[in-house]
Structure formats: structure tokens, C-alpha cells
Amino acid sequence: MARIYEDLTPLYRRIRVIQRLIIALVILMCVFIWKMQILDYNRYWQKAENNRLREIKLTPQRGLIVDRNGVILAKNRASFKVSFIRENVTDMNLSLERVARLLSMKKEELAARLAKYNSLPDFVPIVIKDELSVEEVARIESHQMEFPELRLAMEPQRDYPFGPFASHVLGYLQEISLAELRHRKNQGHEVGDMIGKTGIEFQYEEELAGRKGLVVEVVDSLGRKVKELVQRPPTRGNKVYLSLDYDLQAKAEELLKGREGAIVVLDPRSGDILALASFPNYDPNKFIHRFSPQEWVSFVQDPRHPLENRAIRGLYAPGSIFKLVMALAGLDSGLVSPWTTFFCSGTTIIYGHPFSCWYEPGHGAVNLVSAIQHSCNIYFYNLGKLLGIERIAAYARQFGLGKLTGIDLPGEKTGLVPDPEWKRRSRGAPWYPGETISVSIGQGPILVTPLQVAVLTGMIALRGKRVTPHLFLQVERRKELVKYSPAQPAGEGSWSGKQTIFDRVITGMWKSVNAGGTGQGARLEGYDICGKTGSTQVVSQDTADKLKRKIKTHSWFTGFASRDNPRVLVTVIVEFGGMGGQTAAPIARQLFE
């Protein structure tokens, strides 16, 4: 009888395939378990711990900022904020609707706020609203069980008791950006932290910020506190003393109110800045909450530019103030002596072009002292022709123009001292001799900041010694006072040429104020004020018509007192203020007084 065999080959083939699939799944499962246990151990351990442990960071109080006499310019006040934890959300759309209703926010605004931090892990709390009212705090507390995604916390908030006072010096706080967070990752900062963005708040962030505290709590499955494991109180930031004098700063701001310009008052002996005013200003209290990009744009696009610190960032032609540099350069180079005279008839022809003095009848024969006293353009036109642009530029840089002053504020601008190389590089054109004549009286492409003019004036007052202007006076660290120490040794960068040249220039400045010169508006009986005015026309008739503005010059004055013992220095610029002697000089007189 024949035996019948069944062909089981297909069955065996299927069994082998199934075996391989099972082996692959087992290997895959082993790899997944290995990844969970080894590679992702910290992540899952943290998640497990978070189910029973709650870590709360305690924000420290920021250090006080006070003036030289202890007047508080920046302090703190209690405030509440609420954060959103995306990890605790199952239905994001529903959560956004409910939270927006609870906090009286727009859903779109809340979504945009969270979207800003999409790149961060879901367990990171994101601050969605601060400066909460008592009613809002009570509402969140009473609905805590219904909103596991919300976390309420207390936060010391910055307070500027005098509003816009010294706003460009103090600066303001704003929420740390993601870029700053990456840059400052070793400084203990987190998402939602408020940090200094400008001014002293930025410059001395490490001194002012303090150190965060920490509380670790054991919680139950409903998030209720069972016990406290760790408590480390926050450390308050250090108290920073500024060189500002409150009364002098207040007076400077009062004199600038309603105008556009800047005032610098400093002690030329130490570099202490006693007042640094810029107007228009702003109220830094408006920046202490976390506002939207639209709110920021409204500040930036303000046509008056209130955020701009004109004292260190405003770029202006120096006008006749630059004649001080010209006089010093002429004397030091030996191209003129104190007795060299040029005749001013009101106009002159140089390189085939007419150049005018501001005083149409002319000053007659003038020497260096009388040229400074009466600010004679013709004298300095001729001196500029003798010096040449390269020599003029070199002396200007020796007196600190075209470079940073070194003030302890961020964002300072360098200004511009033009020369042939600069023009070839920036404009692709040669330098023409007639341009030198314009630069000789501080016109043309030369640009300075008010603080640079103050530093120049300080070097003249101290007969060539240069000090670095600064706002920091001292810091109080746990009752220990650490005083200002200059970054460079005293006198470094000072004048190395002839010392005698300064006396002649100072004589001209003294006569400008006290002997019927252009600076007589700054005269104060018995104080021997030495000064120099300046005026710079900045718009043409066409531009003036478009702006619906009369053609007016920027008004400059810079000077010091007293002549032989300089203790205070004042530099003033008023945009579109008219002649320097008419506007800036009287403002300076009130500050000297």
C-alpha cells in the first residue's frame, strides 16, 4: 500500500518567519528597555520624582540702587505671577480656553505666549501673567484643583519710586530671552526670569540679581503638600551706590523738560558723574511686566526716541566746541603762537570759495585767546588750512574723540573723526581741501557724543590729565563696602604734549564767559566759570519746511568751574535750541549755581 506524505515545507517556512519576528520583537523590546533604564534613566527618574516631589525656586529680591547720598532710586515690591506647565495638559485647546477665561486674557495672546517657548521641554513652567491683582490670586487659588497646569508664585518686582527720573542711567528689566538664556546658562537663570536689559540694571546684573532660593516639597497624587524636605532661602542682591547726586540730576532733568537734548555734569578730578540727563525720557516702571511684542514696537517706533540715551548715543556735530581742539593742536604743533593773529572781516576766500564768520561785521584782528572768546570762524578756518585734516584728526583722537570714553553703561557710541582714509573707505571718494575748512569749526562729517565733549573739557580743565567717567561709586556686599577702582591707572591716556598750551585755551574760555564773549550766558559772579559755546545747523530750508520747523541750530555749551581748582564740569546740548550762548549757556549757569 503506497504511503501518502504531506508536504509541510510551507508550514515550516511560516514558522521560521514567525520565529524571526518574535526574536526581532524581543530584541527591540530589550533595546527599548535598555534605553529606558540606561540612556533615559534621568528623564524617567525625574518624572517619577515629580509625581511626589515639587521643586519651587524662590526669586531673590534685587539689590537696591541708590545715589551717592543714599537716596533710593530702584527698589522692590511684592507681586504675584502665574505660570503654565504644558506637561499637565491633556487637551491643549480646551485648557487655553479655560485658562484665558480664568485670567481675563485673550486665547490668542495666551497661545502666542506659550508658542514662544515651544523649543523648551513641556515640564518647564512658562510665566503667562504677572502683576496679578488680589482678586486674580484668589481666583487661581480657589480653582487650583481644576487647573493642574497653573502654578502661582510670589515674585519681588522692581519699583522705580521716582518714575522717569534718571531712566537712561538706571535702565529697565525685561524677561530673559532664549538667546540670553543660552548665553547665561551657568548663572542660574531660567525661563521667565526678569533681568537688566539696559543701563545700570544691565551693567551690574551680577551684583544686583542675588541668588535664588529653593524649596523641595513632598506632594500627594492631588498635588497637595505633605511635607517639606529642603528649604534654602534666597540671597538678596547687593546694594549699588551711584555717583549721581539726586538734587543735581533732578535739576538737570527739570531744565531739559520739553526739549530734546542731554546734560552731563561730572567731577573732572575723579570722573564721578553727578548728573546724566537725556530727554525725552521714559518710565522704567512700564517695563517691569512681561509685555507683548506689539507693546515693545510702540516704544521703539516713538518718533521722539525716548529710549535713546542721547548723552552717550546721541551723535552731533560739535560745532564751535571743536575750536578748543583746533586751538590746542595749533599751539602744540607750533604752527601758531598765542600772539599769532588773523584778520576777520566777516568773510574770507579759501581755495577759491567764500567762507563766512557767524558775526557778519567781522571781529577784526584776533589772536588765539580772542578767537576762543568770540568764537571767530575766520581764525579757525585759517588755522585748519595750516594744520591739514590728518593732523586735525590725530589731535582730535588724542583728546578722546572718535573713541569710547569707557563709561560703565552699555551701548555707548564712538562718534566719528573723519580723515581721507575714512572717506575713501566709506564713500569711495577723495578728500577735498574745502572739507578741512568745514571740519575746522566742527561742521561736516565729524560727530561726537555729549559725554565725549565732557571728557574733552575735563582734560582741558585738568591741563591734560584724563580720567574715565563712571557712575558706579561703591557696592555693599554683606555690609562690606567695595569702592570704585578705575580700570586704568590714573593719568593713563593723558596728554603727553606741551602743558603750557592749556593755560592759553583756558584763558580764552574764561573770557568767553566773563569778558563779554559768546558764553556770557553762563556767567556766575564769583565762580570763575570757563566755557565754550557751539552751534550747529542741522537741517536745510527744505527739510525745515517738511518738519514744519524753523531753521534752528543745535545749542552747545561746555565748561567747568573754577578756573584754577576745577570741581565741577557741565556739558549741555539742546537740539534745535538756537545759538549756544542763548539756550545752552543759561542752562549750564543754573546747574553751576
Contact 264, 451 (CB under 8 A): yes
Q: How far apart are CA 248 and CA 84, in angstroms?
A: 46
Contact criterion met (CB below 8 Å) for 129 and 103: yes
| Grid coordinates belonging to 462 | 585738568
Contacts of 471 (CB under 8 A, 6+ apart): 169, 200, 242, 243, 244, 273, 276, 407, 408, 409
Three-state DSSP class for residue 105 = coil
Round the CA-based radius of gyration of the chain to a whole number and report it: 34
Closest-CA residue to 160 (of 78, 73, 31, 236) = 73
Written in H, E and C, the secondary structure of 135-189 is: HHHHHHHHCCCCCCCEEEEECCEEECCCCCCCHHHHCCEEECCHHHHHHCHHHCC
Tell how strand 150-154 and strand 80-84 pair up: antiparallel
The number of residues making up the chain comes to 593
Half-sphere exposure of 146 (CA within 13 A, CB side): 10
Are the C-beta atoms of 473 and 272 separated by less than 8 Å?
yes
CA atoms within 13 A on the CB side of 269: 7
**CA 13 to chain CA centroid, nearest Å:** 77
Q: How far apart are CA 571 and CA 584, in angstroms?
A: 9
Q: Which of 320, 370, 440, 512 is catalytic?
A: 320
Reference 290, options 187, 158, 188; nearest CA is 158
Name the pairing type of β-strands 353-356 and 261-266.
unpaired
How many CA atoms within 13 Å lie on the side-chain side of 569?
A: 30
Residue 180 in grid coordinates: 540670553
280 cis-preceded (ω within 30 degrees of 0): yes
- The answer to whether residue 320 is catalytic is yes
The residues, any chain, with a CB within 8 Å of residue 269's CB and separated by 6 or more, are 462, 467, 566, 567
Q: Which amino acid is at 277?
A: A
Give the Cβ contact number of residue 497 at 10 Å.
15
**Under 8 Å between Cβ of 288 and 412:** no
Positive or negative torsion for Cα 433, 435, 440, 445: negative
Q: Which residues are known catalytic residues?
A: 320
